[in-house]
Amino acid sequence: MIKTLLLLGATGDLAGRYLLPALAALRAADRFPDDFQVIAAAREDLDDRAFQRTAAERLERHAPDVPAAARADLLRSVRYQRTEMTDPASLSSLLAGIRQPVAVYLALPPGLYTTVVITLKAAGLPAGSRIALEKPFSEDLDSAVALNRLLAQVVGTAGEQAVFRVDHVLGLPTAQNLLALRLANRVLEPLWNSRHIEQIDILREEDLGLEGRAGYFDRSGTLRDVMQNHMLQVLSLIAMDLPAPLDEHTLRDRKVDVLRSVRRLSRDEAVSRTRRARYTAGRLTDPAGGAGRAVPAYRDEEGVDAARGTETFAEVVLELDSERWSGTRFLFRAGKALHRRRKQVTVRFRPVEHPSAHRAPANELRIGLDGPEDIALHLTGGVSLNLPSLAPVTLAAPPPAADLPAYGHVLLDVLSGGSTLSVRGDEAEAAWHVMTPVLAAWKAGLVPLEEYAAGSAGPL
């Protein structure tokens, strides 16, 4: 395991909200060696104590369940150094003063990746080191290809083992269980094909608005933020043929197979099979049953450039050209400021047909990706044969207990050299291939930017 983590962008939201809490959870679980060290770097002019005070406040806010002793122990291992990450001399000085090899985590806006990776190349990344980058990996297919080439130059013969393209959804227990559900279930796997499944919905609906993330989100939008990465990762786990043998290499091969089998949308299909919208002023739902919180229209949120036409809601319908899935629709739906929070996969089985019976309602398997249910099978009853009707039945299982936050699993893989939770270079490019026709149609103005009230179910 690499014993030094270099956190570039340590004063940013990603580090404070996710990475530092994950590090504290790992410390509490005793998953680090005693001499593990975190080097925090950013442009702010701070010393060790000033950064540790700021980090302590963030841990209090975002990791209250982690024992205070573990939080304090982590902070004692943190050292801060002011660094100009686009200056080779500054970054070279930083690398020269720390123990090597090092895991370099770019907790930075994606727009800085290319510049910082070039700087790392000029500064000289120590042998045996790793680079971790957050999603979205670049902003389109061309920039993703260029960044992959650049990373290959920086890490040299170490290749993919030295690059970790982060998609933290792969670290969620429920996402990891998607594969286990199929591997260990003799009932479902024979039905896991287009003969039995009519449609699969992959949903990521949020009941929160922008929440101060305009600096990142307004340059990304919902399609780039979650659909091109998180949701296509879920698709690959849901739709892939089971790897044999099951290892990191074959698992990633099968995921790439799924992405490459997605039927490329024509220009007309990109218009008819996609929607985009942004929220107007409204009131968000209060989970406790109160009046909720009023929010302004997205275009009026602080830091938003309304002229960009950034979408806060996206819907895309895809099909796969494969023996297993030909004839099944895959619907992607994601949005902010909606009336409920729902992150799940809904598998819609084909209705039962019988010559002596009415068409029966379809049964559904709902797989929660972020609570409150892990797996729920909704049985709507049999066909009507002039027999007493059957009431719908729901069989549900609670979500698995999480031993670590998703970013805890991600960081362990980054430090230990694991690749299961990393997106391979060709996989990242294949995901951009899927969404490129959609982006092109939207950029050309072929798909209107609709509107929906904050706190509603989305565009009508």
Residues 218 and 286 in one domain: yes
Please state the rounded mean pLDDT for residues 159-168. Answer: 91
CATH code, domain carrying 10: 3.40.50.720
Q: Measure Cα distances from 184 to 163, 181, 187, 347, 399 in Å.
A: 31, 6, 9, 18, 17
In 3D space, the residue among 205, 209, 221 whose CA is nearest the CA of residue 284 turns out to be 209
Confirm whether 252 is domain-assigned: yes
Please state the rounded mean pLDDT for residues 128-146. Answer: 93
Sign (positive or negative) of CA dihedral 37, 42, 45, 50: negative
In 3D space, the residue among 164, 166, 459, 194 whose CA is nearest the CA of residue 322 turns out to be 194
**Last residue in a domain, options 139, 165, 191:** 165
Residues 264 and 396 in one domain: yes
Residues 12 and 91 in one domain: yes
What percentage of residues in the chain have a pLDDT greater than 90? Answer: 69
**Last residue in a domain, options 165, 196, 229:** 165
CB of 338 closer than 8 Å to CB of 456: yes
Q: Which of 230, 249, 354, 409 is catalytic?
A: 230
State in Å, rounded, how far the first CA of the chain is from the last one: 51
**Tell me, what amino acid is at 13?**
D
Helix (H/G/I), strand (E/B), else coil: 163:
strand
Residues 216 and 340 in one domain: yes
Residues 252 and 110 in one domain: no
Residue with tokens 């109160």: 290
Cβ atoms within 10 A of the Cβ of 389, count?
A: 8
How many domains, the chain? 2
CB of 189 closer than 8 Å to CB of 278: no
pLDDT of residue 392: 56
CB of 397 closer than 8 Å to CB of 366: no
pLDDT of residue 391: 52
Maximum pairwise Cα distance, the chain: 82
Confirm whether 301 is domain-assigned: yes
What is the value of pTM for the model shown? 0.90
Confirm whether 218 is domain-assigned: yes
What percentage of residues in the chain have a pLDDT greater than 70? Answer: 91
Confirm whether 460 is domain-assigned: no
**Last residue in a domain, options 108, 136, 165:** 165
Residues 9 and 153 in one domain: yes
Specify the range with the lowest mean pLDDT, choosing from 216-220, 316-320, 335-339, 359-363: 359-363
pLDDT of residue 374: 63
Residues 140 and 259 in one domain: no
pLDDT of residue 373: 52
Residues 187 and 156 in one domain: no
pLDDT of residue 369: 81
The CA distance from 51 to 20, in Å, is 12
Please state the rounded mean pLDDT for residues 267-287. Answer: 95
**Is pLDDT above 80 for 82?**
yes
Q: Which residues have CB under 8 Å from 154's CB, separation 6+?
A: 117, 120, 121, 125, 131
Residues 124 and 190 in one domain: no
Please state the rounded mean pLDDT for residues 280-285. Answer: 95
Cβ atoms within 10 A of the Cβ of 172, count?
A: 22
Confirm whether 459 is domain-assigned: no
Domain that holds residue 150: 4-165
Please state the rounded mean pLDDT for residues 431-452. Answer: 97
Residues 233 and 359 in one domain: yes
Residues 332 and 428 in one domain: yes
- Residue 261 phi, psi dihedral angles, 5° rounding: -85, -10
The CA distance from 436 to 211, in Å, is 28
Confirm whether 458 is domain-assigned: no
Residues 293 and 156 in one domain: no
- Catalytic annotation present for 378: no
CATH code, domain carrying 229: 3.30.360.10
